[in-house]
């Protein structure tokens, strides 16, 4: 039996503005299983970032509820790397620990281990401008992992990268996440990226977001994202979900 670490019940989100109420999320319910890589796809502006912001308590919800253990630690990796240009790579990586005042020797050692493991240790005293987009993204991931989250929220983590580094970095990030055995909710509007990484995909409708369908992704040989793109079942999922997304060109 799978352990559930999070349950979302009938979540509704409205934004109040002077131009009127914007219904961003209509009604959404789903569970998150421990250790899974859950991907949420939906067209742009449908409410994906809103959902992650609510899960990490940066936005309040309008209706419904979220059931989770109080001890559940959530790490949020944003749409851009958001590294601070005036801090070194090392200082950026421990930023969360500093802010949360949990920069204990043990936690710092963990960051150093991660920097070494993911080939960033030699750059620890360099500044973000000296690193490639992919390396910066890995630093941002380590900054998020440093606070030892049980659940990782990834908001289109690769959207700022060009196509080639996007493939390579998503491979890297995927391996890191699997190795560190984290539960993930990732949102994206890139369908191929979703299928190549996900254990499960939730397809959202256009705004206001509702759940259109949920897919268990069962590839023939599940491997790393780049290899998964060559899987026999990849294009079958692609066609099915493409139809659900109902993209008007």
Partner 1 sequence: MSTSKEQIAYQRKYIRERLFVLASQLIIVSIMLFSWEYASNSGHLNKFIFSCPSEIIKTIIQMINNGDLYKHLFTTLNEIFLSFSLGLVMAFALAIIMYLNKIFMKIIDPFLTILNSLPKVAIGPMLIIWFGANAKSIVIMGILINLIVSTLTIYDGFQKIDDVKIKLFKSFRASKWQLMTKLIIPGATNSIISALKLNISMTLIGVIMGEFLVSKSGIGYLIIYGTQVFNLNLVLAGIVILLIISFILYIVVIFIEKIINR
Ligand X SMILES: Nc1ncnc2c1ncn2[C@@H]1O[C@H](COP(=O)(O)OP(=O)(O)OP(=O)(O)O)[C@@H](O)[C@H]1O
Per-residue binding string, Mg ion, 40-69, x by CB under 5 A, is: ---------x--------------------
**212-215 long-range contacts, Cβ below 8 Å, gap at least 24?**
212/244, 213/241, 213/244, 214/30, 215/240, 215/241
> Are 184 and 36 in contact, with CB atoms under 8 Å apart?
yes
Q: How far is the CB of 71 from Mg ion (least distance, A)?
A: 28
Q: How far is the CB of 131 from Mg ion (least distance, A)?
A: 24
Rule CB under 6 A: say whether 60 interacts with ligand X.
no
Q: How far is the CB of 24 from ligand X (least distance, A)?
A: 4
Among 15, 11, 9, 28, residue whose Cα is nearest residue 204: 28
User: Quick one: which segment of 60-68, 72-80, 106-114, 184-192 binds partner 1 (CB under 8 A)?
Assistant: 72-80
- Report the partner that residue 45 touches, choosing among partner 1, Mg ion, ligand X, none (CB closer than 5 to 8 A by kind): ligand X
Report how far residue 109's alpha carbon sits from residue 131's, in angstroms, rounded to the nearest whole number. Answer: 22
For residue 95, the SS3 value is helix
**Three-point CA angle 216, 62, 43, nearest 5°:** 45
- Report the partner that residue 24 touches, choosing among Mg ion, ligand X, partner 1, none (CB closer than 5 to 8 A by kind): ligand X
Nearest to ligand X of 42, 225 (CB atom): 42
Using the rule CB under 6 A, which residue among 12, 15, 160, 206 binds ligand X?
Answer: 15
Handedness of CA 45, 233, 138, 129 (dihedral sign): negative
Question: Which two three-digit tokens encode residue 165?
Answer: 């580094």
Using the rule CB under 8 A, which residue among 66, 67, 72, 84 binds partner 1?
Answer: 84
User: Quick one: which segment of 3-11, 42-50, 63-71, 85-93 binds ligand X (CB under 6 A)?
Assistant: 42-50
Using the rule CB under 8 A, which residue among 5, 25, 89, 95 binds partner 1?
Answer: 95
Rule CB under 8 A: say whether 99 interacts with partner 1.
yes
Rule CB under 6 A: say whether 11 interacts with ligand X.
no
Among 133, 109, 106, 129, residue whose Cα is nearest residue 121: 109
- Report the partner that residue 214 touches, choosing among partner 1, ligand X, Mg ion, none (CB closer than 5 to 8 A by kind): none
The beta strand positions in the chain, using DSSP E, are 4-17, 20-33, 37-41, 63-68, 74-77, 151-155, 183-188, 200-204, 209-216
Residues that bind ligand X (CB under 6 A): 15, 17, 22, 24, 42, 44-50, 189, 207
């Amino acid at each position: 039996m799978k352990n559930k670490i999070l349950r979302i019940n009938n979540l509704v989100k409205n934004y109040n503005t002077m131009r009127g109420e914007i219904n961003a999320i209509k009604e959404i319910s789903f569970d998150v299983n421990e250790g899974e890589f859950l991907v949420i796809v939906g067209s742009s502006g449908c409410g994906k970032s809103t959902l992650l912001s609510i899960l990490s308590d940066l936005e309040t919800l309008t209706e419904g509820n979220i059931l989770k253990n109080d001890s559940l630690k959530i790490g949020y990796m944003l749409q851009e790397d958001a590294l601070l240009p005036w801090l070194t790579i090392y200082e950026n990586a421990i930023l969360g620990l500093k802010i949360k005042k949990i920069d204990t020797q043990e936690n710092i050692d963990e960051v150093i281990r991660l920097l070494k493991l993911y080939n960033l240790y030699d750059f620890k005293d360099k500044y973000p401008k000296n690193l490639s987009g992919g390396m910066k993204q890995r630093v941002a991931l380590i900054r998020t992992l440093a606070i030892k989250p049980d659940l990782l929220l990834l908001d289109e983590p690769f959207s700022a990268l060009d196509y080639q580094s996007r493939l390579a970095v998503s491979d890297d990030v995927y391996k890191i996440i699997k190795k560190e055995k984290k539960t993930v909710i990732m949102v994206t509007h890139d369908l191929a990226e979703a299928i190549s990484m996900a254990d499960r995909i939730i397809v959202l409708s256009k705004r206001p977001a509702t759940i259109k369908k949920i897919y268990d992704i069962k590839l023939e040989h599940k491997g790393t994202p780049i290899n998964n793109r060559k899987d026999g079942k990849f294009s079958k999922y692609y066609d099915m979900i493409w139809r659900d997304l109902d993209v008007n060109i």
